[in-house]
Structure formats: structure tokens, C-alpha cells
Amino acid sequence: MTELEMAEEQMQQLRSKAKEHLLREEWEDSILAYSHFINLCQDQISNTQHHLDPENLSKLHKSLCLGLSNRAEARSRLREFDEALKDCEQSLKIESTHFKTLLCKGKILLNLNRYSMALDCFKTALLDPQANENAESLNGYLEKCKKLEFLSRTGGFDLSDWIVNKYRGKSPELAEYIGAVQIRKSVISGRGLFATKNIDAGTLVLVTKAIATERGILPSEDSGENAQLVMWKNFIDKVTSSIAKCPRTCYLINTLSIGEDEDVLEVPDISLFRPEAEEERRDLDKKLDMASILNILDVNSLVEDAVSAKVLGRNSDYYGVGLWVLASFINHACSPNARRLHVGDYVMVHVSRDVKAGEEITFAYHDVLLPLDKRREMSNSWGFQCNCKRCKFEEEMSEKQEIREIEIGLERGIDMGGAVYRLEECMRRCVVRGKQKGYLRASYWSAYSEAYGSQKSMKRWGQRIPAVDVVVDSLVEVMGSDERLLKALIEGLNKSSGVLDKERALKLGRGVYGKVVKKQALRTLLEIGLF
């Protein structure tokens, strides 16, 4: 047996072994076998191409092309998308219209949310004769790409059908989307996300997929803390794995703060976070050590049960934590203007009240329907001190004797209607107007809420304190929509007139859930979410 024949036999054995691993979905073993096969094939081409007839040389190139394509498939199953794409590129250099490779590359690009590029791959694959055998599957990918590309370009998401059907079936397919926002230096902390034009309440500003998430049902209080630690470890492992597999993920996470030297951090251009900007990224060789990863996750991770968030779908019963890079640039404010919806591994951020061009987009990291001292305690637990306009104003007001007396009265169990009356009278005497009135009402919302919910209190004080809709409107102006405000408005209007102002409730609901939820679906949410 000649050396050439021995090499061909060895290659045939390797190819059969690699294919067997692939069919059994033994991805790592398949990658090892195909890597050996590819190396032998390349050596054979390099060492013998001048001695081979064109037909045998062509067969070797075809074998190499298929080997690269199959290794790309195995790598993509392990979510090693960067290496898988490199294999696809090598394969397509050999045969630019190789059907299997185009299909594999298209699916990888779709996983990376690079919709236009994926669409080009599927369109080219459609020209191949093999497309007839895979027409249904290929057309499905084409339609999916077109839909997601449209959503990514326009932000025209609609969750209504899914919600009306009470989350039955799969959650809607979402796309990465960046609206009228940019990253800039922030007076709140380091860098922030800012509106580039006027934005109406309920309008999406971004939709982004998590680098990683971890979810679970927490057990009783006794073991709940240990369960959270286990979840946190699993979450760290997932993020670390994503960083190791994808240079772009590592690069994007590198843009986040570690909680130090906020004022000197570079302000990245928003375009770098668009999936299609893959080739424009820089500093791909920059690495992250474990200490940096832990600091970044500590500062930037989001929990799904936050006061400014709502989880839709089957994962609503779970405690969840995740890393959504672009959403991590959104700072806290005690008068926030944005909320988020969690759907699967995506987060959808919308403004909860009208926002003006140049205004910073902000979340409530903790409950902002609380007095100043309680908010400061919660801010300290997050590792920061809030110095927003609301906090500064309330600090000045806390020096007033009347405010101190109201707080003492609340501690001693004063009638809530009376507390609200005294607060309103204090604001009248101190000439507190506009947003400042909303700030104080938000701080003492528990008193207002309890007063409005008590027949006894309303019978005594109802004519001397503002109507619930007046108070809710003033709070929405300064802190956006909130489910508790929506519930109070609905219950208050029902009690006072017996007829619910549906349009008013729907408008407030739009601030809570965003314009991605249309009227009928919003009514369903109000039914299953509040009552």
C-alpha cells in the first residue's frame, strides 16, 4: 500500500468516526475527530497537490469543505459561535455556494442576532438545487430573518396575542433593538443612557438579550440564602463560559463598570452594541480576570423581580438574575422614567412617562414609594448614595417641624387620612408646587394608599384630601407609571363613581407595560396581574 493510499484510508476512518460522533450528538468528540481529519486533509493537499490529478485534488477540496462545515455545526451546538464562523468562512473559500455551510452559517448568524447577514446566507442557499429538498425549513429561516430584521430596525414589537392567550405556547420571537438613545457621561454616576429625541410614555428604547441568566424557585427562608448562593455561582459560571467562547462578549462586558473610577471611564458609542457591528469592534484581545468579572457582575447584574420590572410568561414564578450589557448603563433615580419587561432571556426597556430629548433614562433600583430615610438605607445596601433633585428637596423639607410631627404621628399609628390631610396642608403653607408636590406624595404613598383603601378614613377625610386620581397623576409625572398606582386608580375610581375611566387606566397601564401590549392584552394583564 502506497503512502497516499494509507493516508486516504486513515482519512476515511477519521471521517466515519467524526460523522458517527456528529450523528450521536457527541459534539466535543466530533470536533476532535474532524479537527484531526481536517489537518490530515490540509497536509495531503499541501504535500501532494502537484502530484495529484485534478479530479483527486478536487475530491480532497470537497472533503475538506465538508469537514469544516461539519465541525462548524458541532461547534455551533456548543455555542462556540466565533470558531464555528471561522470554519464556515474557510469552507466557503473552497466552495462559495456550499449549501450545508451556508445553512450552518446562516443559523449561527441568526443566533448572534445578525439578521441581515443571516438573510443573505439563506438567500444564497436557496439558489442551490439541494434547497428543493429542504424548502420548508429554509423558507422558515428566511421568514424568521425577515421578521426579526424588521423588528430590529423598527422596534415594532407586539406581545398582545401571547398575553391574551395567557402565555400558552412559546414566548414571542424577539430581536435586538436600540431606539433613540445614546451613552453619555452622567451627573448621576459615571455613564448613562440618554434620549436623543422626545419619547412618549410606553415607547421602547431598547430590547436586548442576556449574556447569561440563572433562574430558580427559592425555598423557605432557612435555606433560601444558600440557594441564592448556588444560583449566583451557576450564573458566574455561565458568564465566564460565554466570555471564553466569544471575543465579542468579552469585549462588550469589558465596557462595563467595576464600580471604581467612574468619572474616567470611556464612553462607548451606542453602535458598538448593535449585533451587525460585529466587525467594527476593537480591543478583542483584551482579557478579563475572575476578579474583574466578579466586580462587573456585582455592579451590573439585574434581578428580574425588581420594583421597576415585570416578568411575563412561565418564568414569572422564578427568582432570576441576569446580565444585559446595554441595560446595565441605566442609572438609578428616585424619580425614574423607565421600566422593563422580562420575556425569556430578553429584557425590553420602555419609558414609563414622557421623556424629553437629552433626558437621562433611569430605573428605580429599589422602591421609590418610600420616605427619604428608607430610600437612603436601600441605596446604601446597593453601595451608592442618591443625590437627585427629589432627595435634595426632601432633605430640605425634613428639617421642617410639621414634617417631623407627621412622621412621629405615623410611627404612633395616627389615622392615615389625618396624616395625608396634615401633609397636604403643610405643602399648601410652604407653597410646595408642581413636581415637588409629587415628590412628597410619593414619599408618603403608603399613607395615601391606606387612606384611600379605608372606608372609615375616607368618610372622615375624603372631602378634605385630594382625590385619588389627582394624587396618582402627580406621582406619575415625577416617577412614571407603577402597578400600585394603577391599582389604586382603578379601585378609587370604581368606588367614587361606580364607572371606571378605562382610557385613563389604560394610559397608566401603558406606562407600566409599554406599547408592546395593545388594549385588549392590557385589559387581560390588568385582570391577571392585579386582581
Query: pTM above 0.85?
Result: yes
Whether 390 and 443 map to the same domain: the answer is yes
In Å, what is the CA distance from 492 to each residue of 155, 352, 386, 500? 35, 21, 32, 9
Name the grid cell of 513: 407595560
The C-alpha atoms of residue 284 and residue 292 are separated, in whole angstroms, by 16
Q: Are residues 133 and 111 in the same domain?
A: yes
Residue-number span of the structural domain to which 90 is assigned: 3-154
Which of 154, 188, 204 is the endpoint of a domain? 154
Q: Containing H/E element for 389?
A: helix 389-397
What CA–CA distance (Å, rounded) separates 259 from 290?
A: 15
Q: Are residues 379 and 252 in the same domain?
A: no
Residue 509 lies in a domain: no
**Within-domain flag for 60:** yes
> Which pLDDT does position 205 carry in this prediction?
97
In a domain, 520, yes or no: no
For residue 511, being part of any structural domain is answered with no
Residue 527 covered by a domain: no
Residue 514 is assigned to a structural domain of this protein: no
Sheet holding 319-323, edge to edge: 212-216, 319-323, 302-303
Is residue 121 within 8 Å of residue 94, measured between CB atoms? no
3-state secondary structure of 26: coil
- DSSP class of residue 355? B
Same domain, residue pair 359 and 389: no
d(CA 126, CA 350): 38
Same domain, 175 and 137: no
Give yes or no: residues 281 and 182 share one domain.
yes
Cell 416578568 -> residue:
311
What pLDDT does residue 9 have? 80
Same domain, 243 and 345: yes
Rounded to whole angstroms, how far apart are CA atoms 516 and 130?
39
Spell out a b/e string for 354-368, using b for 16 or more CB atoms within 10 Å of the CB, else e.
bbeeeebbbbbbbeb
Q: What is the pLDDT along the chain (531 residues), one digit of tens a residue?
A: 556 566 678 788 888 898 899 899 999 999 999 999 999 888 888 876 556 677 778 888 999 999 999 999 999 999 999 999 999 999 999 999 999 999 999 999 999 999 999 999 999 998 888 878 777 888 999 999 999 999 999 999 999 999 988 888 888 999 999 999 999 999 988 899 999 999 999 999 999 999 999 998 877 665 667 888 889 999 999 999 999 988 889 999 999 998 888 778 899 999 999 988 755 445 555 678 899 999 999 999 999 988 999 999 877 778 899 999 999 999 999 999 999 999 999 999 999 999 999 999 999 999 999 999 999 999 888 888 888 899 999 999 988 999 898 888 888 888 899 999 999 999 999 999 999 999 999 999 999 999 998 889 988 998 999 999 899 999 999 999 998 998 888 887 666 654 456 777 888 888 999 999 988 888 887 775 543
The domain spanning residue 49 has which CATH number?
1.25.40.10
State the Cα–Cα distance between residues 288 and 294, nearest whole angstrom. 10
Q: What is the pLDDT of residue 352?
A: 95
Q: Is residue 450 part of a domain?
A: yes
Residue that is last in its domain, among 311, 338, 363: 363
What is the number of alpha carbons within 13 Å of residue 14 lying toward its C-beta? 22
Q: How many whole angstroms separate alpha carbon 93 and alpha carbon 72?
A: 14
> Which pLDDT value is given to residue 487?
86
Cα–Cα distance for residue pair 288/158, rounded to 1 Å: 38
Residues 418 and 385 in one domain: yes
pLDDT at residue 157 in the model: 96
DSSP one-letter code for 345: T
* Domain C-terminal end among 120, 154, 188: 154
Judgement on whether residues 307 and 397 belong to the same structural domain of the protein: no
Q: What is the pLDDT of residue 508?
A: 87
Cβ neighbors of 482 (< 8 A, separation 6 or more) are 352, 369, 475, 476, 512
What is the domain count for the chain? 3
Quick one: 214 and 306 in the same domain?
yes
Q: Which residues, 6+ apart, have CB-to-CB distance to 128 below 8 Å?
A: 97, 99, 102
The answer to whether residues 223 and 327 belong to one domain is yes
CATH number, residue 291: 2.170.270.10
Residue 177 is assigned to a structural domain of this protein: yes
* 17 shares its domain with 104: yes
